[in-house]
Amino acid sequence: MFQSFEVTARPEQGPPRLAALRDEISNEGLNGFLIPRADAHQGEYVAPRDERLAWLTGFTGSAGFCAVLSDVAGVFVDGRYRTQVKAQVASEFTPVPWPEVSLSAWLQEHLPNGGKVGFDPWLHAAGQIASVQKDLANSGIELVRCDNLVDRVWADQPAAPMNPVKAHPIEFAGETADSKITRLAEALHEADCTAAVITLPDSIMWLLNIRGSDIGYNPVAHGFAILHDDGQVNLFMAREKLSVPLGDQVSIHAPEAFLNAAATLEEKVQVDLGTLPQAVADVLQDQMVDGGDPCALPKACKNAAEIAGSAEAHLRDAVAVIETLCWLDKQVLGTLTETQVVTRLEENRRKDNALQDISFDTIAGTGPNGAIMHYRVTEETDCRLEDGHILVLDSGGQYLDGTTDITRTIAIGEVGDEEKACFTRVLKGMINLSMLRWPVGLAGRDIECIARAPLWVAGQDFNHGVGHGVGAYLSVHEGPQRLSKVSHVPLQPGMILSNEPGYYREGAFGIRIENLVVVQEAPALPGGDAERAMLNWRTLTYVPIDRRLIVTDMLTSAERDWLNTYHHDVTEKLRARLGDDAQLWLDAATAPI
């Protein structure tokens, strides 16, 4: 199992680390240096060795970057982390609202006379660098490739992970690695490309039907791959990780050989400029064709075995969540802390032998902590669940047959009318999106507003996407599909996404309700032929929604019917799997409204 290391800067550590980095910046003849939360593989998640942003600034969010200049250090974060970053970084660091304020605009404000800003070309995607350089044209500011200056001053930087790889059984994968390689190679040939470069760890895991543990909570191993149009794959991964057979189509090479191998590729090479490291783009140059990661879309469209496995994993996972909610309701008000809830839920999940790990740090935020969207309880922040609080409980598991992610918001004692009204608006949005049928060809950006509309009516909204893609015993955040204002990828059958609208009032409370759903072809409506092919959702998550927080009169009859049907289905699917106490709790929790 993955072993974690604490690399986050404590408030008193940030200033001396920043000063040491500035010395290196000056020694290099630079005016600044960029520190992203990224590694050479350009995935969302990083190993402790690559937690440079957290080590320097103290900010532990899953997205963001820091730009360090001689007199200012900006920490760029999006709307999900605006509350969190203020609590985590020292005063020497300045939070910057991103993408509202772009890096290029910020640099031009703070370097009006121009300057040289260094960056590690392995830690920035080629598309990112090209965009910033375009925006900096005629500014006098130059982006300069250089060694990683944070690594020079990080004396106790953890070693690179070297955990063993294991085979992913065909009964869960649903397709052999040879078959995947062959059909993706054929697609390359049809696109007139001789090869494709793959750097994302989850893409490599999916393609080769293997799993690893180099990154916490994500069953992936670090490596690079080149897929050729003749059906051969060059895998660049440390040999000590590999004790499983990979087949005749796969040859193994040292990771250090990857860049030279990329430099020898001929003719057109398919890449994803959004994830290809600039260091690789530098050797490919004009050969690159921005056709995307060839594994991304096939991986996103789950096959029948993956969907069946995910559905079963969600039912077993629901047992752990329901048993925890039953236990929680029996506790005396004011006696429990967030940590105790996290511990109990994770203990219940680990009763399932198929569980490999949790799928992310469990979020249990009560009262004001619930307003921090990606809150993680610590010794300093651990809060008691008091009368009148609402608890945001966001968690998931990594099972051999599927990945889960569920959020429930729970009433603690007597909750105020305002909190209930906000909860009901969030619920209406989640239900309305769940009931949606939409024409084939629409993307997440076309339908995500359905989940926001009930909040908009009240002048409210939330600063995260409505939903993200989810892997099949892979990353809990998986692209390219999203329910987001910026997602243009058409939704297709087999894609698993989260449906998770929310609402957050800083310093007061937070609300989020999340089910995972899978895209499917919509059944024909009774009484006539549809003019267009339609899609809809199949729900995977079955756990009660807290009826104590619902203002029933705010629901339409259709919304009420959906909720009652959902709760009936929860009982039908889960009751026999539960203990006696949880069965009685479930009966009460799912009573019709």
Q: Domain containing 346 — which CATH number? A: 3.90.230.10
How much is the pLDDT for 6? 60
Which domain does 172 fall in, by range? Answer: 166-298
Are 315 and 291 members of one domain? no
Say if residue 8's pLDDT is above 80.
no
Are 266 and 319 members of one domain? no
Is residue 159 included in any domain, yes or no? no
What CA–CA distance (Å, rounded) separates 259 from 264?
A: 9
Contact yes or no for 194/214 (Cβ under 8 A)? no
Q: Which of 312, 359, 305 is nearest to 494 (CA)?
A: 305
Are 474 and 499 members of one domain? yes
Say if residue 563's pLDDT is above 50.
yes
Task: Among 298, 332, 355, give the residue marking a domain's end.
Answer: 298
C-alpha to C-alpha distances, 140 to 120, 126, 185, 278, nearest whole angstrom: 20, 21, 44, 21
Are 416 and 352 members of one domain? yes
Instruction: Look at residue 64 and give its three-state secondary structure.
Output: coil
Is residue 5 included in any domain, yes or no? no
Instruction: Render pLDDT for 340-399 as a digit per residue (tens, 0 to 9).
Output: 999 999 999 999 999 999 999 999 999 999 999 989 899 889 999 999 999 999 999 999
The pLDDT confidence band at residue 561, using thresholds 50, 70 and 90, is very high
Is residue 366 included in any domain, yes or no? yes
Are 199 and 140 members of one domain? no
Q: What is the CATH number of the domain that holds 44?
A: 3.40.350.10
- Total domains in the chain come to 3
Residue type, 397: G
Are 66 and 40 members of one domain? yes
Task: Please give the average per-residue pLDDT across 68-84, as a whole number.
Answer: 91
Q: Which residues have a Cβ under 8 Å from the Cβ of 90 and sit 6 or more positions away?
A: 9, 11, 12, 14, 15, 57, 58
Are 138 and 204 members of one domain? no
Average pLDDT, the chain: 95
Angle at 395 between CA 354 and CA 379, to 5 degrees: 115
How much is the pLDDT for 528? 63
What CA–CA distance (Å, rounded) separates 43 from 39?
A: 7
Q: Which residues have a Cβ under 8 Å from the Cβ of 456 and sit 6 or more positions away?
A: 449
Are 134 and 188 members of one domain? no
Q: Is the pTM of this model over 0.85?
A: yes
Element (H, E) at 159: none
Are 535 and 400 members of one domain? yes
The pLDDT confidence band at residue 90, using thresholds 50, 70 and 90, is confident
How much is the pLDDT for 4? 45
Are 280 and 335 members of one domain? no
Task: Among 298, 324, 358, give the residue marking a domain's end.
Answer: 298
Is residue 8 included in any domain, yes or no? no
Is residue 161 included in any domain, yes or no? no
Instruction: Render pLDDT for 492-537 as a digit per residue (tens, 0 to 9).
Output: 999 999 999 999 999 999 999 999 999 999 998 886 666 889 999 9
Instruction: Render pLDDT for 231-287 as a digit per residue (tens, 0 to 9).
Output: 999 999 999 999 999 999 999 999 999 999 999 999 999 999 999 999 999 999 999
The rounded percent of the chain whose pLDDT value lies above 90 is: 91
Range name among 202-216, 271-285, 421-435, 524-538 with the lowest pLDDT average: 524-538
Are 139 and 254 members of one domain? no
What DSSP letter does each residue of 541-574 carry, written as one string?
------GGG--GGGS-HHHHHHHHHHHHHHHHHH
What CA–CA distance (Å, rounded) separates 149 from 25?
A: 7
Task: Among 274, 298, 322, give the residue marking a domain's end.
Answer: 298
Dihedral sign for Cα atoms in the order 492, 493, 495, 496: positive
Is residue 319 included in any domain, yes or no? yes
Is residue 9 included in any domain, yes or no? no
588 CB-contact burial (10 Å; exposed 0-12 / middle 13-18 / buried 19+): exposed
Residue type, 486: V
Residue type, 488: H
Is residue 53 included in any domain, yes or no? yes
Are 20 and 99 members of one domain? yes
